[in-house]
Structure 1
Amino acid sequence: MKKVYFTLLTIFLMSLAAKAQSYQKTQLGLKAVINATVVEIQFYSPQIVRVIKYPEKDNFQKKSLSVIKNPEKTRFSIDKKADKILLKTDALQVILNSNTGSVSFASHTGKALLNEKESGTVFTDFNDTGSKTYTVTQSFILDKKESVYGLGILQNGKMSQRNQKVHMVQNNTWDFVTFFQSDKGYGLFWDNYSPTDFSDNPEETSFKSEVGDGVDYYFMGGGNADGVIANMRGLTGQVPMFPKWTFGFWQSRERYKSQNETVEVVKKYRDLGVPLDGIIQDWQYWGDNYHWNGMSFLNPEFSKPQQMVDDIHNLNAHLIISIWSSFGPKTPQFQELKEKNMLMDFQTWPQSGKDVWPPDMNFPSGVQVYDPYNPEARDIYWKYLNKGLFSFGIDGWWMDSTEPDHLDFKPKDFDNKTFLGSFRKVRNAFPLMAVGGVYDHQREVTSDKRVFILTRSAFAGQQRYGANTWSGDVNSSWEMLRNQIPAGLNFSLCGIPYWNSDIGGFFAGAYNRGECGFWS
């Protein structure tokens, strides 16, 4: 009898081991179920591999907002040794531990690059406005002396982003990209758009996102920074060429209050013989806050917009004009979007109908942000932009507040419904969708004029939309000026090359207190 029990126990244990170590080869890599978690490894190229993990009881289906690359047909081999499953391409080695489900990455020669932490994949139940999903975490182990760069535009003055915790939710001066690259010659893109914590300490380096149906990230080799950037752009989009004039000198201020003033500034440059390629017309050409972002020259000081544009062009200069991601309640855009339930309900700029600071909340503006995740809403946005501004021959767009401004934050604000689910689920991709909507529509209308967009926020993949990101309404201080250098370098190391900053700052509070600073 004891022998029978022993035999049955042996068969049972062997079946468990076989189940834990089994895998299915797929066209792109492999799929395995380990400890009730599905692990998928998918090669997008010899140097780029996608890792997906999700609970076995669920299905995982996702169309990425950032990744546009279709997987290449990639030659790879699979070799199983003990508890390790080794996948090899001509450029990478990926090792799956069939007992723990952890994944490691190495160069084609076997040089270790990055390891997931064992038990570093965590799914925590989360109810997202009635949708049962997870808070997802993936932890990695970095070398103690390893430096990592990226994460977007960070105003922390740091070049390497080690030994810190960063809460990643887009705002005016911090533009987050859930990507970093290492001085060991690899990069990692965490493909999640919800509020995310990047954390690095001596024990682990992790991404933790508030909402996600699974872990979803891309590892890319490259050998060096240029190689990693090339792979990131191959994955999320190449950079179109800007108009040549955008590399020249522009003039801007807050703000020109009439078309006569705008044109006269250009004339003065010509009179003085100072080279000038572009001038920016900022806000309130639409009139008042109730007509906020009306995309139309309702201000009587701009009564002949076609003449203004023609005058500037005849002076051999170009015109960029301010547009926003929100609309005042007296605009036709607001009314049409409201009727179709394509506006979001949270406090944004400007909060008051009066043009005063601080806002006079006795006169609420009623301005609301639109839903750029909705393709029909993007169509409506362009319809008015094309008719009210582009038809006059305006040369480029200053897309302000593309993060967008989110004032007096309340957690329930994330419960706002978008076309793709809760605002919480897609929060950080707002600038990608808003900017992409304008780029795509302009390209559909004409190929005679290259797209140029100056924008205040960005996310992974935005480089494909003819966009230059500036670092927001920074303060006028020497410390803030210093911080722009690592901010811009880290941003460019995310694969998004075009960046600038208000050199003199925008808010002059430090200057007005007698501290060192500039006024732009």
Structure 2
Amino acid sequence: MRKYYSFLSTVVFLFAFPVCAFSQTIHYQKTDNGIIVRPGINNIAIGKQIKIEVITDQIIHAVITPGDQFSLEPSLMVLPVKSKPEWTVTENADGIRLTTKSLLVKVDIHSGQIQYQDLNGKNILEEKIQNARSFKAVSNDGEAGYQITQVFNSPNDEALYGLGQHQDDMMNYKGKQVLLLQNNTDVAIPFLLSSKNYGILWDNYSITKVGDVRDYQPLSSLRLFSKDGDQGWLTATYSDQKKNAASITRAESDIDYSFLSDMKKFPDSFKMANGKVLWEGKISSGYTGLQHFHVKYAGYIKIWINGELLVDKWRQAWNPGTAVVETEMQKDKKYDIKIEWIPDGSESYLAIKCLTPIPEGEKNQYAFSSEAGDEINYYFVSGANADEVISGYRTLTGKAVLMPKWAMGFWQSRERYKTQEELLGVVKEFRDRKIPIDNIVLDWQYWKPDSWGTHEFDKSRFPDPDAMIKTLHETYNTRLMISVWPKFYSGNANYDLMNKNGFLYKRNIADGRKDWLGYPSTFYDAFNPEARGLFWDLMNKNLYKKGIDAWWMDATEPDIHSNLPIEERKQLMTPTFLGSATKYFNAFPLQNSKGVYEGQRKANANDRVFILTRSAYGGLQRYAAATWSGDIASRWEDMKSQISAGINFSLSGLPYWTMDIGGFSVERRYEKPDAADLAEWRELNTRWYQFGAFVPLFRGHGQFPFREVYNIAPADHPAYKSILFYNKLRYRLMPYIYSLAGNTYQKDYTIMRGLIMDYGADEQVKNIADQYMFGPSLLINPVYKYGATSRKVYLPKLNGWYDLYTGAYVKGGQTINAKAPYGQMPVYVKEGAIIPYGPEIQYTAEKPADPITLYVYTGKDGTFTLYEDEGLNYNYEKGAFSTIEFTYSESAKTLTIADRKGTFKGMLENRTFNIIRITPKKAKALNFNQTPDKTIHYTGKQTITKF
């Protein structure tokens, strides 16, 4: 642990901060990159000292300490920024003013309030002037620290995004609470993006609440009435659905069966496997306004308030989901409530908590509140638009390294391929059917049953993994991603080696817990650099040297044992190498990916690393890691919630996100379906594949029934035809998609774009949670209702839109009822778009993208830059890439293909571009066999085509 920090901090502080610095007239001390201020109201409530550091013209670092010195502990998330921006500082009666080329930062010398303004003095963000901060001294595993809170003012029209990936089907977090706590399906990233074109990067690793940070209260905080009108409880009825056993009725004031330890609260004779519970009565609140209910559930849950069905969901028993619902309530008015719960298995979870309406004085604010920290530490990031703000986030936390090109293709996965023969058979079937694929994924349990953590194949099921990998590469031109957990079963050689070096968390072993397969296990301490090094060495020895292409890093929350209370989860990872688990809880996935990325790049400096991880943290993009949305359910509402989850994840600054197309966990009715359930299953997968083709990474995965397209439906079925169509369209779009990927590194671009990014001036888009832009040109509108053949689509202002399939033109600034037949999802193309399509291919490296068909959608000026490189290595970091810019002029009716810039090994010197021009008055369908309007033979020199 880093116990030497306190001593070093004291020494450095005494040399760097003369006592005489604070005279009666000057209330700040200049440093190399900013100032240090001691507020006049000098107490622990607002901090004794405030440090303002200028990182760039648009990025300010604020640190507020309640102590006499600042921590010198380096950030796990933020990297040193090499810049020397110019800035000035002055002081007047109102306070201290620090000015950069873009920002004015004011610090009130009395209250310590910080304001961030533009150079005209207009507020961008300001801390609340009263009760803006708090520091509450705490001890975590004997480690001194503080619970910390920072409050910011927020105007009525501000919308808030980012903060990772959450499953509550919310887009705009204004007035909501977001809990940053790593969990299966929930990803904590402490970066908030505002519609006011700024961001806050909260440099803290502990569990944190953002927004409305009040604690959710038990249901009993409301006034409860039983079914018979008695005050103080609801009437709970426990029954058995399959037997004629007598029901159990009892009074219950709270519904809180959140964790394994809560299972003992149920009636002794109640058996969940066939059980059903009904809570009935009335509720009332002491407040008028919007009441929030937080529901944690597994199994089937329905909640009605005053006859309105607010919740109708299902989630598998071992991985409960969450929902946040709102309802207007009048003070002291009674409302009928009915809660129906059908557990799903021998263990299941349900908890319902509530939050009263936001007090009037707290409506125009939001806060960050963290369990542990030495000081308040955050970065204010400004920009002219959301792209600039996200670029600022990556300036602080690292470039999004470029994924290998094959990762942009289709991946097939399953829980799980049990044998070598089965895995190779799936790939062969894809190739025989000419279904494009680039990557096959080998999930867990390829090892012997008692050998988790050995990274060794079970020879009885995978007799020759070297030959299997060689066949995938050489015969099928397919990559192999393999599952690796940070987990070790006790007793195997790798466990013993990690244990001998003190690299394991030991509490789970000491407690004698066994995992769901029946073996004792624990995780390694990813905060220890030597442990990370050894973990990679074990992966390298048994897996990477065989030719494995990519890593599926599962359970990286870390999920040492599922469904334990949070305090027990922290105990299971105590102590970490750096300090208490409370302080470092959320940063485990960052450190785990760091070890794998740095290990592989050291072992092989040429081939691009690729990691898929179930959890993430700020800075993960620099370690070639993408994130998927965890073990979600195969339900329509879960599909819908992935839309806002993926958008907000991308707005958090991390560009690579994906999900289990079709959902992971499946209701029993789909395992042996009747005709009606089979029809719904096929339609659900069809709609999900349509959506999945337009997210950064395209990946099918799930439990039984299997998700390969030919297992979903036969080749003559509309489901099969639609899935194949969108798979092939994805590959046709590879020049477009890989150019977007190139821009994530070269220009800090974001692929999956909330509408606020491109249409922030349009007030209508702020709360849209089910539409997004895929790159600059494609408006994606997933269909998430069973049986729907149309859906409402809002077409943003500022430009017109073209139907992707027909080429028909529609004016922007309106909501339309878009056609959505079974096999087709509504997609619209922005007026002024230029979209490059390549030839039909079966895998990304099959052949060069030539000829390219350029669809030019006229009506406005447009531009697109084609990016290309070698696709597999890191030569792009050394400048080995090329770009070709296409520019359309509406007034001149010309398409200019500029001089090619750059070069790389294997680059096509001569290209063919087939131009298809679409106008508002002349629609053209998406048809790659049609005669082009123009054909350009391009040699790398500028050409101008007049239409």
Taking a change above 3 Å as real, the CA distance of residues 20 and 333 of structure 1, as seen in their structure-2 partners, is: farther
Match of 1:50 among 61, 64, 67: 61
The aligned residue for residue 606 of structure 2 is: 448
The aligned residue for residue 557 of structure 2 is: 403
Cα shift at 1:353? 6.0
Match of 2:174 among 124, 139, 162: 162
Cα shift at 1:61? 1.9
Alignment of 1:178-217 (within 5 A): 178-200=190-212, 202-217=363-378
User: Is 1:306 paired with 2:466?
Assistant: yes
Instruction: Tell me, in whole angstroms, the C-alpha distance in 2 between the residues paired with 1:232 and 1:374.
Output: 26
Q: TM-score, normalised by structure 2?
A: 0.51
The aligned residue for residue 499 of structure 1 is: 657
Instruction: Tell me, in whole angstroms, the C-alpha distance in 2 between the residues paired with 1:265 and 1:393.
Output: 19
Q: In structure 2, give the amino acid aligned to 1:308.
A: M
The aligned residue for residue 540 of structure 2 is: 386
Instruction: Tell me, in whole angstroms, the C-alpha distance in 1 between the residues paired with 2:186 and 2:161.
Output: 15
The aligned residue for residue 330 of structure 1 is: 491
Cα shift at 1:492? 0.5
Q: In structure 1, give the amino acid aligned to 2:588.
A: F
Match of 1:115 among 118, 121, 126: 126
Match of 2:414 among 229, 238, 253: 253
The aligned residue for residue 296 of structure 1 is: 456
Q: Structure 1 vs Structure 2: percent identity of aligned residues?
A: 39
Match of 1:231 among 367, 392, 409: 392
Q: In structure 1, give the amino acid aligned to 2:538.
A: Y
Q: Deviations over 1:362-407 (max 9, x none)?
A: x4x1110110000010011011100000000110011111112142
Instruction: Tell me, in whole angstroms, the C-alpha distance in 2 between the residues paired with 1:163 and 1:354.
Output: 39
Instruction: Tell me, in whole angstroms, the C-alpha distance in 1 between the residues paired with 2:26 and 2:667.
Output: 62
Q: Deviations over 1:61-104 (max 9, x none)?
A: 22001101325211111121213211110111111000001101
Q: Deviations over 1:272-316 (max 9, x none)?
A: 22222110011111111x311321113421121101100111121
Q: In structure 2, give the amino acid aligned to 1:409.
A: P
Q: In structure 2, give the amino acid aligned to 1:188.
A: I
Instruction: Tell me, in whole angstroms, the C-alpha distance in 2 between the residues paired with 1:162 and 1:468.
Output: 27
Match of 2:109 among 87, 98, 120: 98
Instruction: Tell me, in whole angstroms, the C-alpha distance in 2 between the residues paired with 1:275 and 1:346.
Output: 46
Say which SS state the counterpart of residue 127 (structure 2) adopts: strand
The aligned residue for residue 88 of structure 2 is: 77
Instruction: Tell me, in whole angstroms, the C-alpha distance in 1 between the residues paired with 2:140 and 2:84.
Output: 37
Say which SS state the counterpart of residue 458 (structure 1) adopts: coil
Tell me if structure 2 keeps the 8 A contact 1:476–1:510.
Answer: no
Say which SS state the counterpart of residue 418 (structure 1) adopts: coil
The aligned residue for residue 457 of structure 1 is: 615
Say which SS state the counterpart of residue 417 (structure 1) adopts: coil
Alignment of 1:262-301 (within 5 A): 262-288=423-449, 290-301=450-461
User: Is 1:485 paired with 2:636?
Assistant: no
The aligned residue for residue 71 of structure 2 is: 60
Q: Deviations over 1:134-177 (max 9, x none)?
A: 11111111111100110000111111111112222100000011
Taking a change above 3 Å as real, the CA distance of residues 511 and 124 of structure 1, as seen in their structure-2 partners, is: farther
Say which SS state the counterpart of residue 378 (structure 2) adopts: strand
Tell me if structure 2 keeps the 8 A contact 1:222–1:228.
Answer: yes
Match of 2:143 among 131, 155, 162: 131
Instruction: Tell me, in whole angstroms, the C-alpha distance in 1 between the residues paired with 2:495 and 2:666.
Output: 33
User: Is 1:33 paired with 2:45?
Assistant: no
Tell me if structure 1 keeps the 8 A contact 2:419–2:462.
Answer: yes
Tell me if structure 2 keeps the 8 A contact 1:150–1:181.
Answer: yes
Say which SS state the counterpart of residue 338 (structure 1) adopts: helix
Alignment of 1:143-154 (within 5 A): 143-154=155-166
The aligned residue for residue 425 of structure 1 is: 583
Cα shift at 1:235? 0.7
Tell me if structure 2 keeps the 8 A contact 1:96–1:102.
Answer: yes
Match of 2:477 among 316, 322, 326: 316
Aligned pairs, number: 495
The aligned residue for residue 436 of structure 1 is: 594
Say which SS state the counterpart of residue 488 (structure 1) adopts: helix
Say which SS state the counterpart of residue 292 (structure 1) adopts: coil
Taking a change above 3 Å as real, the CA distance of residues 145 and 20 of structure 1, as seen in their structure-2 partners, is: farther
The aligned residue for residue 358 of structure 1 is: none
The aligned residue for residue 666 of structure 2 is: 508
Instruction: Tell me, in whole angstroms, the C-alpha distance in 2 between the residues paired with 1:25 and 1:499.
Output: 42
Instruction: Tell me, in whole angstroms, the C-alpha distance in 1 between the residues paired with 2:566 and 2:127.
Output: 35
Tell me if structure 2 keeps the 8 A contact 1:249–1:275.
Answer: yes
Q: In structure 2, give the amino acid aligned to 1:102.
A: Q
Cα shift at 1:332? 2.1
Q: Deviations over 1:462-484 (max 9, x none)?
A: 01111111000001111110011
Say which SS state the counterpart of residue 78 (structure 2) adopts: coil
Instruction: Tell me, in whole angstroms, the C-alpha distance in 1 between the residues paired with 2:64 and 2:610.
Output: 38
Unaligned residue ranges in structure 2 (runs of 5+): 1-19, 213-361, 672-676, 686-704, 708-947
Say which SS state the counterpart of residue 344 (structure 1) adopts: coil
Instruction: Tell me, in whole angstroms, the C-alpha distance in 2 between the residues paired with 1:268 and 1:252.
Output: 14
Tell me if structure 1 keeps the 8 A contact 2:453–2:495.
Answer: no
Structure number with the higher helix fraction is 1
Tell me if structure 2 keeps the 8 A contact 1:46–1:90.
Answer: yes
Q: In structure 2, give the amino acid aligned to 1:52.
A: V
Tell me if structure 1 keeps the 8 A contact 2:441–2:480.
Answer: yes
Instruction: Tell me, in whole angstroms, the C-alpha distance in 1 between the residues paired with 2:515 and 2:127.
Output: 52
Q: In structure 2, give the amino acid aligned to 1:342.
A: F
Say which SS state the counterpart of residue 552 (structure 2) adopts: strand
Tell me if structure 2 keeps the 8 A contact 1:21–1:98.
Answer: no
Instruction: Tell me, in whole angstroms, the C-alpha distance in 2 between the residues paired with 1:257 and 1:217.
Output: 47
Instruction: Tell me, in whole angstroms, the C-alpha distance in 2 between the residues paired with 1:74 and 1:114.
Output: 21
Taking a change above 3 Å as real, the CA distance of residues 107 and 352 of structure 1, as seen in their structure-2 partners, is: same
Instruction: Tell me, in whole angstroms, the C-alpha distance in 2 between the residues paired with 1:20 and 1:121.
Output: 26
Instruction: Tell me, in whole angstroms, the C-alpha distance in 2 between the residues paired with 1:19 and 1:368.
Output: 58
Deviates more, 1:183-192 or 1:508-517: 508-517
Say which SS state the counterpart of residue 461 (structure 2) adopts: helix
Tell me if structure 2 keeps the 8 A contact 1:21–1:99.
Answer: no
Instruction: Tell me, in whole angstroms, the C-alpha distance in 1 between the residues paired with 2:458 and 2:367.
Output: 50
Say which SS state the counterpart of residue 300 (structure 1) adopts: coil
Deviates more, 1:125-134 or 1:56-65: 56-65
Instruction: Tell me, in whole angstroms, the C-alpha distance in 1 between the residues paired with 2:76 and 2:173.
Output: 25
Cα shift at 1:411? 1.8
Instruction: Tell me, in whole angstroms, the C-alpha distance in 2 between the residues paired with 1:489 and 1:62.
Output: 33
User: Is 1:367 paired with 2:521?
Assistant: yes
Instruction: Tell me, in whole angstroms, the C-alpha distance in 1 between the residues paired with 2:638 and 2:25.
Output: 53
Cα shift at 1:409? 2.8
Q: In structure 2, give the amino acid aligned to 1:65.
A: L
Q: TM-score, normalised by structure 1?
A: 0.91
Q: In structure 2, give the amino acid aligned to 1:420.
A: L
Taking a change above 3 Å as real, the CA distance of residues 511 and 54 of structure 1, as seen in their structure-2 partners, is: farther
| Structure showing greater Rg | 2
Instruction: Tell me, in whole angstroms, the C-alpha distance in 2 between the residues paired with 1:468 and 1:60.
Output: 31
Q: In structure 2, give the amino acid aligned to 1:206.
A: A
Deviates more, 1:32-41 or 1:68-77: 68-77
